[in-house]
Amino acid sequence: SAVISQKPSRDICQRGTSLTIQCQVDSQVTMMFWYRQQPGQSLTLIATANQGSEATYESGFVIDKFPISRPNLTFSTLTVSNMSPEDSSIYLCSVQGQSYEQYFGPGTRLTVT
Amino acid sequence: QKEVEQNSGPLSVPEGAIASLNCTYSDRGSQSFFWYRQYSGKSPELIMFIYSNGDKEDGRFTAQLNKASQYVSLLIRDSQPSDSATYLCAVNGNNFNKFYFGSGTKLNVKP
């Protein structure tokens, strides 16, 4: 399985600011995904990011709030814009394996004050 | 709306027992089924996946799939306290690129 890293691992941000989360993979992958996991909850897919194309967002998530970049096959970023306390969550990136399984990065724990 | 249902638990079993975790799904077109383990404060870790009806074994873990009943389960034999975690069931439908996660079952293995 791929080795996935995320930066930062955690951050505390003020309301109204933005944070960019980086996801780096040690091998080339076609499909990358961004999820949110709120305390005590399961994972919610934010968007799917393919290299060379616009990200595909799930219902309830918009590009203005969660812009995503996918400049190459090993890297992606998710920005959480104009943050509010409701954005406090763990943000996870994942990559798709050869059998459509997904492997997750360690996550970014975001607290908005 | 595709749905994946899991009993939230907690499911408590004594050490050495078999833990049985269950998952049902609503989309009959679902093709692939995945089990993840998530320790508190950690990200989900893939345990195993299954595509075909029947059983698939990997060490102490057995996944069972019954597409007619839209049911997938995970058995953990000889449960250990280190197995205490939340177990997430994930399903992808006709779109292989998209997962639908259940809410997870919290397992507690008592020494």
Mean pLDDT, rounded, for B36-50: 96
Q: What are the tens digits of pLDDT across the range A50-93?
A: 888 889 999 999 999 999 999 999 999 999 999 999 999 999 99
Tell me the chain B residues in contact with residue A104 when contact means C-beta distances shorter than 8 Å: 43-45
Q: Is the pLDDT of residue B2 over 70?
A: no
Size of interface A-B (CB pairs under 8 A): 43
> Residue A39: what pLDDT?
87
Q: What are the tens digits of pLDDT across the range A12-31?
A: 999 999 999 999 999 999 99
d(CA B54, nearest CA chain A) in Å: 18
Reported as type and span, the H/E element at residue B45 is strand B45-50
Mean pLDDT, rounded, for B61-69: 97
C-beta separation of B54 from B64 below 8 A: yes
What is d(CA A110, CA A54) in angstroms, rounded to the nearest whole number? 25
> Residue A103: what pLDDT?
96
Considering only A89-98, B14-23, B86-95, which range has the smallest mean pLDDT? Answer: B86-95
Tell me the chain A residues in contact with residue B49 when contact means C-beta distances shorter than 8 Å: 99, 101
Tell me the chain B residues in contact with residue A103 when contact means C-beta distances shorter than 8 Å: 46
pLDDT bin (cut points 50, 70, 90) of residue B93 is confident
Mean pLDDT for all residues in chain B: 93
Mean pLDDT, rounded, for A88-110: 95
Tell me the chain B residues in contact with residue A9 when contact means C-beta distances shorter than 8 Å: none
pLDDT bin (cut points 50, 70, 90) of residue B1 is low
**Which of A45, A99, A106 is opposite residue B43, by nearest beta carbon?**
A106
What is d(CA B86, CA B38) in angstroms, rounded to the nearest whole number? 5
Q: Which long-range contacts (CB under 8 A, 24 or more apart) does A71-75 make?
A: A73/A28, A73/A29, A73/A30, A74/A24, A74/A25, A74/A26, A74/A27, A74/A28, A74/A29, A75/A22, A75/A23, A75/A24, A75/A25
**Which of B34, B43, B103 is opposite residue A105, by nearest beta carbon?**
B43
Which two three-digit tokens encode residue A26? 């040690």
